[in-house]
Amino acid sequence: MDTAALLIIEVLNGIASLALACAGLAIIFGMMRVINFAHGEFMMLGAYTTVVCTKTLGINIWISMLIISPIIVGIIGIIVERTFIRFFYGRMIDTLIATWGLSLLLIGIVTAIFGNIIEGVSAPMGSFEVGVYNVSQYRMVLIGIVILLFIGVFMVLTRTKLGLIARGTMQNPAQASVLGISTQRVYMVTFAVGAALTGLAGGLLAPISQVIPTAGAAYVAQTFITVITGGTGAVTGTLVASGVFGTVRQLLSYEFTPVLGGVGLLIVAVVMLRLLPQGITGKIFRRSL
Q: Which of 104/155 has CB closer to another protein?
A: 104
* Element spanning 268, H or E: helix 258-275
Q: Which of 150/224 has CB closer to another protein?
A: 224
The sign of the torsion formed by the CA atoms of 11, 17, 18, 19 equals: positive
Percent helix / strand / coil, the chain, rounded to 5: 75, 5, 20
Tell which one of 55, 94, 184, 247 touches another protein (CB under 8 A): 94
The residues facing 134 across adjacent strands are 129
* Element spanning 133, H or E: strand 133-136
Would you count residue 111 as binding another protein (CB under 8 A)?
A: yes
Q: At 66, is the secondary structure helix, strand, or coil?
A: helix
Contact 65, 206 (CB under 8 A): yes
Q: Which of 63/113 has CB closer to another protein?
A: 113
Q: Minimum Å distance from CB 285 to another protein?
A: 17
Tell which one of 198, 229, 236, 253 touches another protein (CB under 8 A): 229
172: left (phi over 0), alpha (psi -120 to 50) or beta: beta
Would you count residue 79 as binding another protein (CB under 8 A)?
A: no
Tell which one of 220, 248, 280, 289 touches another protein (CB under 8 A): 220
x/- site string to another protein, residues 34 to 53, per CB under 8 A?
Answer: ---x----------------
List of residues 6+ apart from 58 with CB closer than 8 A:
none
The residues facing 128 across adjacent strands are 135
Would you count residue 257 as binding another protein (CB under 8 A)?
A: yes
Q: Minimum Å distance from CB 234 to another protein?
A: 13
Which residues of this chain interact with another protein, rule CB under 8 A?
37, 84, 87-88, 90-94, 96-98, 100-109, 111-112, 213, 217, 220-221, 224-225, 228-229, 257, 259, 262-263, 266-267, 269-270, 273-274, 277-279
